[in-house]
């Protein structure tokens, strides 16, 4: 069982993905963390995130342990992650990691929930259920600004909103795996939904997908 969740930054997809993983007893992978790990490696080495060769080398060195680094949540790392994610060689380097996680989840779980930008379109196009989580840029900027302030970082709403729009443009206009809903994805707008309402809507969709699947053959 694979659940693919895509969407822009601060749409609520990460919170939803973790909750669905707990509900169904599945492994969870925040694939955005992989690109943040690449960005962090580049920045820590004094490199330019837009340098394709440097970013690709960093992507080749990323390991599962990198995802636990608390520095991944820093806003400069998030901005750099959007830059390295537009580099085809970086995406190719991380492709096997993501597909391997989906095929053989760690811990022996019976499936996985992956959230990111191209899970339903590129990484797991045959996923059991695909969701595309979105919200207005203004709502997402307000959420991100609140997260930053709660983490003790200064955040000016107007600046966060502009950064959000810039990141949306990079993610949706890049040649390599642009941010778009899969043709068969359930598009869920969370602008006016709280976490419980978003979870209920997503769960109802997934359960409909599961109910529509043919029963497994005996033996």
Predicted structure pTM score? 0.89
Residue 94's pLDDT band (boundaries 50, 70, 90)? very high
Question: Per residue in 171-209, pLDDT tens?
Answer: 888 888 888 999 999 999 999 999 999 999 999 999 999
CATH code for the domain defined by 2-210: 3.40.50.300
CA–CA distance, 24 with 20 (Å, rounded to integer): 6
Phi, psi angle pair for 218, to nearest 5° = -65, 145
If we measure between CA atoms, which residue out of 100, 89, 150 comes closest to residue 123?
100
Residue-range domain boundaries for the chain: 2-210
* pLDDT tens-digit readout, 38-80: 999 999 999 999 999 999 999 999 988 999 999 998 889 988 9
Tokens linked to 124: 């797991």
At 114, is the secondary structure helix, strand, or coil?
strand
Two tokens, residue 214: 């043919």
- What is the pLDDT, as a whole number, of residue 155? 87
Cβ atoms < 10 Å from Cβ of 157: 14
* Residues 199, 19 contacting (CB under 8 angstroms): yes
pLDDT at 18 over 50: yes
**Maximum CA pair distance of the chain?**
60
């Amino acid at each position: 069982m694979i659940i693919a969740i895509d969407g822009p930054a601060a749409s609520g997809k990460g919170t939803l993905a973790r909750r669905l993983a707990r509900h169904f007893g599945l492994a969870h992978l925040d694939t955005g963390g992989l690109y943040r790990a690449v960005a962090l490696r580049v920045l820590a080495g004094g490199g330019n995130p837009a340098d394709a060769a440097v970013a690709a080398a960093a992507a080749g060195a990323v390991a599962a342990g990198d995802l636990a680094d608390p520095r991944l949540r820093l806003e400069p790392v998030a901005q750099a992650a959007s830059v390295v994610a537009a580099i085809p060689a970086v995406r190719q380097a991380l492709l096997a990691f993501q597909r391997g996680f989906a095929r053989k989840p760690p811990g022996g779980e019976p499936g996985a929930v992956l959230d990111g930008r191209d899970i339903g379109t590129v990484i797991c196009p045959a996923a059991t259920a695909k969701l595309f989580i979105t919200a207005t840029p203004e709502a997402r900027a307000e959420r991100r600004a609140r997260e930053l302030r709660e983490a003790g970082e200064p955040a000016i709403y107007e600046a966060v909103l502009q950064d959000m729009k810039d990141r949306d443009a990079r993610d949706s206009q890049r040649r390599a795996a642009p941010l778009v809903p899969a043709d068969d994805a359930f598009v869920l707008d969370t602008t006016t939904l709280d976490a419980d309402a978003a979870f209920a809507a997503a769960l109802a969709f997934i359960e409909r997908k599961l109910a529509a699947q043919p029963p497994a053959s005996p033996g």
